[in-house]
Amino acid sequence: MTKKLPLNDFRAVRSKLEPDDFAITDGVDDPPSDLIDPDVWDGIMHLPEDVSIRVSDHNGVRIRLMHELWGDWLEAIGDPENPDEIFNCLLEAADCFQAATFNFLHGYYRTALAELRTALELVMIGTYGTLYPNDKDYLEWKDGKTEMFGFTRCRKRLVGNLKKEKAKWMFEDGEVLALTFQKLSSYAHARPDADHAALWESNGPVYNHAAIMLTFFASLSVHALCYLLIRLARPDFVMPERSDILFELDWMSDYVPLVQAYTDLYGNSPKPRK
């Protein structure tokens, strides 16, 4: 049986935006025309609501960091009035990061990891397209004419085209970019031992500490890798100051190669932070 949270818990009461909070509005909310049945609502919401309470009970600092990284990403996207070649990929990646945090909070860890994979692929494609904007395969991808142009093809082409001082090593097989994408792909495709059931160790969604830590560290790693790719696409790019933490925490996954790539691309070494 479920029980209601006490009203002194801020998570106990739902909120709804006012009509004038939206950019396009007539100033009036339409009354419900086909209200969902309570049992259907409960059937959809009980488990993810339960997980969201349990995750937020014990992971406030981690969730804050993921949320703040998304906020920093919004600053990094660029000028919507003067978008460059990578702009739209970064814009869509922002929604992927937001969706990953939302799904993480509600126990859909595999779905969150799949969103992180999409974000990394988008930024890889956007980086390649910035460096080679007239590439035939890239242009066909932009026009929706091919399904065969993605992360791995871009990565392999960059290995062949980049100069050594542009962190070319990072794009090679067996290095951090390839390994991270391969791992995320296992979850995106729900391969054996990388599906919802494996992450929940149950039918779910349910609270699972190991899956929480896996998703949290993956989120940090993907943010870090994306900022390295952006620097390659925009040589004058300056990372939002708060996001420097991605390269300063020595407990980060892949800390050593991330610091090496940061140093190669940004021209200075980050200062370690415990």
User: What percentage of the chain carries pLDDT values higher than 70?
Assistant: 99
Q: What is the mean pLDDT of residues 240-267?
A: 94
Among the listed residues 55, 152, 70, the one whose alpha carbon sits nearest the alpha carbon of residue 107: 55
d(CA 127, CA 107) in angstroms, rounded, equals: 31
What is the pTM for the complete model shown?
Answer: 0.95
**Does residue 2 fall inside a structural domain?**
no
Q: Name the band, by pLDDT with cuts 50, 70 and 90, for residue 119.
A: very high
Give 207's contacts (C-beta < 8 A, 6+ positions apart): 50, 51, 54, 55, 107
d(CA 65, CA 70) in angstroms, rounded, equals: 9
**Does residue 94 fall inside a structural domain?**
yes
Domain extent for 87: 17-266
DSSP assignment letter at 267: S
**Does residue 8 fall inside a structural domain?**
no
pLDDT at 2 over 90: no
Would you say 116 and 180 are in contact if contact means Cβ atoms under 8 Å apart? Answer: no
| Cα end-to-end span (Å), the chain | 42
d(CA 201, CA 195) in angstroms, rounded, equals: 10
- Condensed to tens digits (0 to 9), the pLDDT of residues 171-202 reads 999 999 999 999 999 999 999 999 999 999 99
Q: What is the mean pLDDT of residues 251-266?
A: 95
**Does residue 24 fall inside a structural domain?**
yes
**Does residue 204 fall inside a structural domain?**
yes
Q: How many separate domains does the chain show?
A: 1
Q: What is the mean pLDDT of residues 196-210?
A: 95
d(CA 83, CA 77) in angstroms, rounded, equals: 9
**Does residue 1 fall inside a structural domain?**
no
Would you say 113 and 184 are in contact if contact means Cβ atoms under 8 Å apart? Answer: yes
**Does residue 4 fall inside a structural domain?**
no
Q: What is the mean pLDDT of residues 21-43?
A: 88
pLDDT at 274 over 60: no
pLDDT at 126 over 70: yes
- Condensed to tens digits (0 to 9), the pLDDT of residues 245-254 reads 999 989 988 9
**Does residue 206 fall inside a structural domain?**
yes
Q: Identity (one letter) of the amino acid at 55?
A: V
